[in-house]
Structure 1
Amino acid sequence: MQLGRQTTSSSDFFAPAASPFGNAFSQAGIGKSGFRASNTVFQDRVVKYISPKFQGFDLGASYSFNTRGEQQQRSENTQSTSVSLRYQGDKTTLVATYDRVSPANSDPNAHGHRPSAIQLGGNHRLGAVHIYAGWSQQKDGWIKSSDGAATGSNHLGQSGYFDGSVDAWLLGAKLTAQRHQWFGTLQYVDPERKAFQAGEAVHVFNAGYTYDFSKRTNFYVVASYFDGDLYGFERDSHSRQFGFGLRHRF
């Protein structure tokens, strides 16, 4: 049992299973694209439980009494629930997650919306190659918008909500050869018209490489390209990112 400000069980389980980037490498991280329920969602006043493994299965569940700090009235709290199921075998990992946010009664932007997200994904090892796949559907708004805030405000903001749903798909692969790793993902993020009336689907392309100098230190190169806007799905928008560096894990 874990208590306090922390990530949801969906963030813990899904990102490393469904993408070779996990939530690392900035824009290339899975949570920065359509899978925003896995975007390292930190919430306040959380109770989280991760079960022991049984026959390869484990369960994660978390509940936030108020994602953005304590309010004077209980009815003004923004509450959130996250449930995750994972299977880890010798070659295969599968994950299913569900999240729901219940906005505060005073949130002027909610208008009856209760953001939710379903995610399904995993990976399978074929020799030196891991194959990754994932799917997500988010309704009524972004789970990420329920992040705790230093201000203590419990309103998710106008951009935290939308009508309808947004679907995201991912395919990826990672090749390991001694100290070398090459990996990449292709993603397709498609909003419903009633969610973003003037929006258009976005394609995501990510590629990365690492070289291990030791068990704790490696060199990395990463490149990422979005051919649209993944927050408002505006037309004639794009994002590029390239970077390299050294990482040391303590």
Structure 2
Amino acid sequence: MNKTLLASLMAMGIAGMAHAQTNVTIYGTVDTGFIKESGSDVRMGSNDDSLIGVRGTEELGSSVKATFQLERRFDLNNGVKFSGNNALDILQGADPNGENGVEWQGAANVGLQSESMGAIRLGRVNDVAIENFGDIDPFAVTGVGSALVGYNILYSEQLANTVRYDSPTWAGFGINLSYTLGQDTHGSQNWYHNNGNDGFGIGMKYDGGALMLTANYDRLADSDNSWLWNIGGAYTYEGFTVSAGYQDTTIKRAAASILLDNYGMEIGQKDWLIGLQYNTGPHTVKFSYNRGELESHGDYDGKVNKYAVGYTYDLSKRTSLYAMASYTDSDNEAVGEIYNSNGVADDSVTGVQIGITHNF
């Protein structure tokens, strides 16, 4: 074949592939710093989760797009894959700190999107209730300043084996729906393994710019029908943002036995949040007060109060420095083990964190 003709055909093929895949983006976050908490040594750790991701779209015509997203999370300071804090992964047999931990801790999904009909994604997606409620925490449920909801026993930032639908936004209002397939374990000889059920979530959110409101319900798959619901909102005026929220959780016996190392009682968990932020130019000052309550008629009974203050300085649109401090005061060590960010069984923990974040 003529070399010129061969070159032309190859160029046409490459152009065709480029046209078919209209948009592919590589993005990510790298974050690390130093953390010191009472009861544990100084360690390196992150505020935002470090990750690298790829997402893309393909135009299919009639304003419909095919979409995909893949995210790999890791600890920047040592290169180890991120262990995560997803209750669903544990309930479905993953060991976050072992060899059988989830490789793609972030999103891993494919779907379709339309401006008029909304978007549907299949695979591993963000939990509706966790995503919406996290928007009202000044610390975005990360770092030592994280809201107490980040230590919820059913906390699952991502859901595997899930289909999620996000509606278009109508005058600031949108609806999110999800359905998760469980790994039906009914029939096991051990009662604490009979926790198989499908899961579903529904979220409603209004974002009018200055005012944001949200209400969500989530029944976690493979949790013996354990569930949570939350409600909250935030209001911004002249640089100040005030936020408040409440979350109520019921953890059934089978789920508690797995998530709390064979603890076999139904547990109720309640969390309150009040937040305040002030932003001016590159400076953001943050404060939050959290209150939690556990009721199990056993060791995990008691209340906890948490106070957090933080400061972020934006060096650019992509890079920022941060510092934060928190104090967590629990009724007893068992409650502290649930709510302390370092997992130490202590009735009070003080934490300090500084670091740097870069987004690309």
TM-score for the superposition, normalised by structure 1: 0.77
Q: Which residue of 1 aligns with 2:130?
A: 11
Q: Which amino acid aligns with 1:246?
A: I
Q: Which residue of 1 aligns with 2:77?
A: none
Equivalent-residue separation in structure 2 for 1:36 and 1:127 (angstroms): 37
Residue 172, structure 1, aligned to residue 269, structure 2: no
Residue 116, structure 1, aligned to residue 227, structure 2: yes
- Within-5 A mapping of 1:92-171: 92-103=211-222, 113-141=224-252, 156=259, 158=261, 162-171=265-274
- The answer on whether the counterparts of 1:34 and 1:136 sit within 8 Å (CA) in structure 2 is no
SS at match of 1:53: coil
Residue 231, structure 1, aligned to residue 341, structure 2: no
Residues 201-249 of structure 1, C-alpha deviations (whole Å, 9 max, x = no match): 0001111100111111111001122112162899962222211111111
SS at match of 1:247: strand
Equivalent-residue separation in structure 1 for 2:327 and 2:134 (angstroms): 19
- The answer on whether the counterparts of 2:276 and 2:286 sit within 8 Å (CA) in structure 1 is yes
SS at match of 2:244: strand
- The answer on whether the counterparts of 1:124 and 1:131 sit within 8 Å (CA) in structure 2 is yes
Residues 111-157 of structure 1, C-alpha deviations (whole Å, 9 max, x = no match): xx521111011100121100010101111359xx79xxxxxxxx656
SS at match of 2:317: coil
Q: Which amino acid aligns with 1:22?
A: A
Equivalent-residue separation in structure 2 for 1:29 and 1:216 (angstroms): 22
- The answer on whether the counterparts of 1:170 and 1:186 sit within 8 Å (CA) in structure 2 is yes
Equivalent-residue separation in structure 2 for 1:203 and 1:125 (angstroms): 25
Equivalent-residue separation in structure 2 for 1:64 and 1:214 (angstroms): 39
Using the TM superposition, give the Cα deviation of residue 163 of structure 1 relative to its aligned residue in structure 2, in angstroms.
2.3
Using the TM superposition, give the Cα deviation of residue 70 of structure 1 relative to its aligned residue in structure 2, in angstroms.
8.5
Residue 28, structure 1, aligned to residue 134, structure 2: no
Q: Which residue of 2 aligns with 1:61?
A: 177
Q: Which residue of 2 aligns with 1:245?
A: 355
Q: Tell me how large the CA RMSD over aligned residues is.
A: 3.2
Using the TM superposition, give the Cα deviation of residue 160 of structure 1 relative to its aligned residue in structure 2, in angstroms.
7.8
Q: Judging changes above 3 Å, is the alpha-carbon distance between structure 1 residues 61 and 241 closer, same or farther for their aligned structure 2 residues?
A: same
- The answer on whether the counterparts of 1:221 and 1:245 sit within 8 Å (CA) in structure 2 is yes
Q: Which amino acid aligns with 1:95?
A: T
Equivalent-residue separation in structure 2 for 1:159 and 1:125 (angstroms): 44
Q: Which amino acid aligns with 1:96?
A: A
SS at match of 2:356: strand
Q: Which amino acid aligns with 1:84?
A: G
Q: Which amino acid aligns with 2:173?
A: F
- The answer for unaligned runs of 5 or more in structure 2 is 1-119, 188-193, 331-335
Using the TM superposition, give the Cα deviation of residue 79 of structure 1 relative to its aligned residue in structure 2, in angstroms.
2.4
TM-score for the superposition, normalised by structure 2: 0.55
How many residues matched? Answer: 225
Equivalent-residue separation in structure 2 for 1:161 and 1:101 (angstroms): 18
Out of 293, 298, 323, which is 1:221 matched to? Answer: 323
Q: Which amino acid aligns with 1:132?
A: S
SS at match of 1:13: helix
Equivalent-residue separation in structure 2 for 1:160 and 1:4 (angstroms): 31
Q: Which residue of 2 aligns with 1:51?
A: 167
- The answer on whether the counterparts of 1:202 and 1:230 sit within 8 Å (CA) in structure 2 is no
Q: Which amino acid aligns with 1:61?
A: L
Q: Which amino acid aligns with 2:165?
A: Y
SS at match of 1:220: strand
